Amino acid sequence: MLNSLHTVFGLRDSGGRLVFLAPIAGYSNSPMRRMSQRHGASMTYTEMASARGLLNPTEKTWSLLETTPQEGAVVAHLFGTEPDVFAEAAMLVERTKRFVAIDLNAGCPAPKVVQTGAGAALMKDPQRVHDIIVAMRKAVKLPITVKTRLGPSPDNMAVYEVLAAAEAAGAAAMTVHGRFTPQGHRGKVNVQLIGEVKRRAKIPIIGNGDVYSSYTAWQMFEEAGVDAIMLARAAIGNPWIFGDFRAMFVANEKPPQLPRTKIRPRRPIRVMQDTFDTHLELLRVHLQRLQEKYGFVENVEAALVTSFRCHLFRYLHSLKGANELRGRLNELATLEAVRLAVKECLQCEADYRMKAPQ
């Protein structure tokens, strides 16, 4: 089945197990995707984009699908409710020749999405999921996949009906987030139920939800038996996690189950500084491109600072000086202020390491 996923997405990755970057609203733009790929992500997904929004060529929605030639395999992640709209949007996406697949969102729990009948609300209507996938498959040659959850509630395990609908429609793969809709991103992920979906499935299954350490990655593969795993929040400010997982797979040993406070390996200060600088530069170029192409980025530096603040505290997680910086994140209004804050935090961490026992 692993070879099937390689075939589905046209992946050249020969490193064994597949680890993907999830679609993360407000985060998984081109710079984050490129950082993830540089550190070992086999494939990445765009932010969630409205299928209807893509029908307007001047719509801001297209900026969410902005890619660069330097990116590897990227999947366009779309949400909506109308099969004919999805079909037209899929054709437009395919014409860009930038994506390896189109993914249907049938799992977003955000109220503003669910209230429109999209996202996780689609789990209550497996026939509509079927019809959307069929419409897109008739319109394009790109593989069509779906991302969903366990169900609307514990007493409504709709994932099996969604799986059957997706398979009947010809979906190429399905991602399962191991929580129910009301949980959002809280509570424990049910690895066993993801495993049950995998056992019933005739198509590849990608495991998603709370994969934040080498142990939870191992657990998702070994206990659920999935064909690939997908990382979301654990990859924000932590692109190195993809390399950590690759090293774990090569070692081929069950990793220890560590407390969340101790799961991040200590990175060399120089490595962290270089990663910050690279991400900032990629983001600057990305925003400059959006300004030139779409015109809605009025001040590149201001947008750069605002955008990177979302990543900054995650990058500095657990470092000495990070808590103090967290309290004044909103005060960082210029690129110079961001660079100075990072430098001070890393210096504080370096001083601590010099004094602390190894």
Q: Report, as residue numbers or ranges, the catalytic residues.
A: 108
Determine the straight-line distance between the first and last CA of the chain, rounded to whole angstroms.
44
Asked if 129 contacts 59 with a C-beta cutoff of 8 angstroms, the reply is no
Asked if 208 contacts 230 with a C-beta cutoff of 8 angstroms, the reply is yes
Asked if 218 contacts 248 with a C-beta cutoff of 8 angstroms, the reply is yes
Distance CA 323, CA 25 (A): 25
**Residue whose tokens read 């001040």:** 299
**Cα dist. 180→103, 177, 184 in Å?**
20, 8, 7
Asked if 75 contacts 44 with a C-beta cutoff of 8 angstroms, the reply is yes
Distance CA 120, CA 77 (A): 14
**Cα dist. 333→78, 338, 340 in Å?**
33, 8, 12
Distance CA 217, CA 263 (A): 12
